[in-house]
Structure 1
Amino acid sequence: MEKLIMGVDGGNSKTDYFLFTDKGTFVDYYRGPTCSHEQFKDGYEGAYRAMKDGVSKLLDKHGLKPANIAAAAFGLAGVDTPNQKANIEKIVSELGFSRFQVVNDSFLGIKAITEKGYGVCSINGTGTSCGAIDRHGNCLQVGGIGWIVGDDAGGGYIARLAVRSAYLSAYRMGKPTSLTEIVMNQLGITDKYYLMEAISEAALKRRIDYTGLTLAVFAEAEKGDAVARDILQSVGVSCAQAVAGAIMNMDFDEPVEVVLAGSVWVKGASPIMIKAFSDEIARHVNKQFRILTLQVPPATGAVIWALELAGGVFPDYEKRRQIIETVSAHLEAEA
């Protein structure tokens, strides 16, 4: 008799719930709102309500309960520390699941596209973090809570550096950069005398176009602007240091599979940033590694992980391919 598994990918705005059999056959799918405790005023109580609602909407119409699910994997935003992980595990257990894995969503890319089911994933999207799973199944997250732990990457960070670089160029002996004119145009000023005031007001009223400025940094770097190139190189180095730190603190065989995920890595695809990333890893790590770019939905990693939990072995290529194609098709239809 076929068993049922569930894979859940929860971000800060939405959560995707997938139901499959342990043979890799699709059963159902539901997209709900975020279930991250960080997005609710009542924290974990809000997360419990949202997750219970999402699970119920997926299972109830099939006459199923969480107890009927052989294994489930939850990759969720906001699971950054052991305490957060323990609190979410408590919620999942209270919902009725017995065999499950709860991790930060940064780990899902590893299960989604690596050949061995373990490796390191560098997230470089709106924000940044790094998740690693070694060959013994141990998990480690490096960063993910902001500047205070060295998270010097992500689109928001790149955009802030663009604004900072414009001001440094204007008044603090920074290098001349084409980003200055771009920043001033976005802020609606023509005289640098008003630059600090414009930055202050835009930041206070949250009117800075972070996406536009991030794209501008990529464009100006390609044109040869030294400051824009320095920004992308620094981001590549920062992400690489997190990856190298994960590799050095865990047990990997060679080659270590390193996954790039998030819009800055995937859509930006900057050779400048990727070269800085690769060179910095090689500078610190005495192991062969290969870089993979995540071109499939992270939710596929949650389903594959649940399948691994149910069967005790990492699924073969054909089964993983089947899951990737099915999950991708449903999420493309949703979009």
Structure 2
Amino acid sequence: MNRQYVIGVDGGNSKTDYFLFDLTGKYIDHIHAGTCSHERFPDSYESSYRIMNENIQLLLSRNQLSMDHVVAGAFGLAGADVPSQKIYLSKVVERIGFTQYAVDNDSFLGIKAGSEKGFGICSINGSGTVTGGISPSGDRLQIGGVGSELSGDEAGGYFLARKILRTVYDSFYRMGPVTSMTSPVMKLLQIPDKSMFIEHAMNGILERTLPNTELMRIMFEAADHGDQQAVNIIDHTARQLAYSTVGCMHNLDFGLEVDVILAGSVWVKAESPLLLHKYKTYITSLTEHQCRFHILQVPPATGAVLWALEIAYGQPVDTTMRENIISSVANVQRKT
């Protein structure tokens, strides 16, 4: 049977997008569904298989298609962090029926979406953080993304919120310097006095109810007004992000010039240029590579579709097809 279609999947911790395109780059269909991450279910990879298979079969059947019509697929999946996880998830994808495919962490989608060459480094700084690299020869490497300071995951909204709370706590009880973040943090979290601070902070962390975005706005505003404690948090995070980016770069076979794609809410929606400025400064001091920085303004799911087509064709698609796919995915996701 003539295989004329590709499927791109962007599977995050809370939602998953399944896209169906044909080999000319024409948009066919899309399903927006809940997470397919094995880390979110008691039966792990079995649920990943069940959920992805159900959605992919629905995507195909309602267009009078089957897996026999699919030439390639690309899967950027949260929870695909270490080699054993990627092996198990590859088995899931093969069980669905894919024979030509790519399975990797969702950070790699940012590279395919943000670099016309199809290779480079992607630094994700959103609710969490991870760095992914694809070299010109196609080798891939992930740095961090396991939610632990063990691997330098010292960025992202969750980490930064805790650092802000720690700074305020230190100023109250651990001889820490006074910070202008204290008053707005207390007001934001509706904490009546410092004796109640640690209880409110712990509950927010344990229940994952902290308003991370608002806390970061407080931090960035304080830093812009010269608060040294806020500046120190930003400087530490910028340095850790730079270490991951350059470490990934030096472990892959890049030439002199490297595209660095910045994705995630902290990078894309940052209300202060300080973090990006410090990040670039650290990178310049750590490597001789000439980096071209791009803020990812297109949906990461675009990268899954482009990657699937690259697998089908054996090379990246041309500029016209690329732009059409980016436009199609963006139009769909604006409606969801």
Q: Per the shorter chain, which TM-score range?
A: over 0.9
Match of residue 218, structure 1, among 220, 227, 232: 220
Which residue in the other structure is 2:322 paired with? 320
1:173, distance to aligned residue in structure 2 (A):
2.3
Are the structure 2 counterparts of residues 53 and 253 from structure 1 closer, same or farther at C-alpha, using a change threshold of 3 Å? same
Which residue in the other structure is 1:331 paired with? 333
Which residue in the other structure is 1:148 paired with? 150
1:2, distance to aligned residue in structure 2 (A):
7.3
Which residue in the other structure is 1:36 paired with? 37
| Amino acid corresponding to residue 274 of structure 2 in structure 1 | I
Report Cα offsets for 1:238-292 as digits up to 9, x if no partner.
Answer: 1111000001111011310000000000001531111111111111111111100
Counterparts of residues 222-233 of structure 1 (less than 5 Å): 222-233=224-235
Which residue in the other structure is 1:61 paired with? 62
**Local SS of the residue matching 1:62:** coil
**Local SS of the residue matching 1:32:** strand
CA contact (8 A) 1:7 1:17 kept: yes
1:62, distance to aligned residue in structure 2 (A):
2.1
C-alpha RMSD over aligned residues: 1.6
The range that moved more, 292-301 or 211-220, is: 211-220
**Structure-2 separation of matches of 1:87 and 1:2:** 26
**Structure-2 separation of matches of 1:103 and 1:286:** 28
The range that moved more, 245-254 or 202-211, is: 202-211
Report Cα offsets for 1:123-154 as digits up to 9, x if no partner.
Answer: 00000000000010000000000222110000
Match of residue 242, structure 1, among 241, 244, 248: 244
Match of residue 310, structure 1, among 306, 309, 312: 312
Which residue in the other structure is 1:82 paired with? 83
**Structure-1 separation of matches of 2:167 and 2:216:** 13
**Structure-1 separation of matches of 2:327 and 2:189:** 43
1:222, distance to aligned residue in structure 2 (A):
2.2
Aligned length: 334
**Structure-1 separation of matches of 2:209 and 2:315:** 49
CA contact (8 A) 1:9 1:75 kept: yes
Are the structure 2 counterparts of residues 229 and 58 from structure 1 closer, same or farther at C-alpha, using a change threshold of 3 Å? same
Which residue in the other structure is 2:104 paired with? 103
CA contact (8 A) 1:67 1:97 kept: no
| Amino acid corresponding to residue 232 of structure 2 in structure 1 | D
Which residue in the other structure is 1:295 paired with? 297
Which residue in the other structure is 1:173 paired with? 175
Which residue in the other structure is 2:120 paired with? 119
CA contact (8 A) 2:37 2:48 kept: yes
Which residue in the other structure is 2:24 paired with? 23
1:63, distance to aligned residue in structure 2 (A):
2.5
Report Cα offsets for 1:145-188 as digits up to 9, x if no partner.
Answer: 02221100000111111100001112222222111112222343
**Local SS of the residue matching 2:62:** helix
1:75, distance to aligned residue in structure 2 (A):
0.6
**Local SS of the residue matching 1:213:** helix
Which residue in the other structure is 2:161 paired with? 159
1:117, distance to aligned residue in structure 2 (A):
0.8
| Amino acid corresponding to residue 109 of structure 1 in structure 2 | G
**Structure-1 separation of matches of 2:236 and 2:325:** 36
**Structure-2 separation of matches of 1:111 and 1:259:** 10
Report Cα offsets for 1:71-120 as digits up to 9, x if no partner.
Answer: 11011111001111010110110111111100110000111121211000
Report Cα offsets for 1:33-92 as digits up to 9, x if no partner.
Answer: 111101111101111111011101100112222232111101111100111101011011
**Local SS of the residue matching 2:294:** strand
Which residue in the other structure is 1:257 paired with? 259
TM-score by length of 1: 0.95
| Amino acid corresponding to residue 311 of structure 2 in structure 1 | L
| Amino acid corresponding to residue 56 of structure 1 in structure 2 | Q
Are the structure 2 counterparts of residues 204 and 313 from structure 1 closer, same or farther at C-alpha, using a change threshold of 3 Å? closer
TM-score by length of 2: 0.95
Are the structure 2 counterparts of residues 302 and 203 from structure 1 closer, same or farther at C-alpha, using a change threshold of 3 Å? closer
1:235, distance to aligned residue in structure 2 (A):
1.4
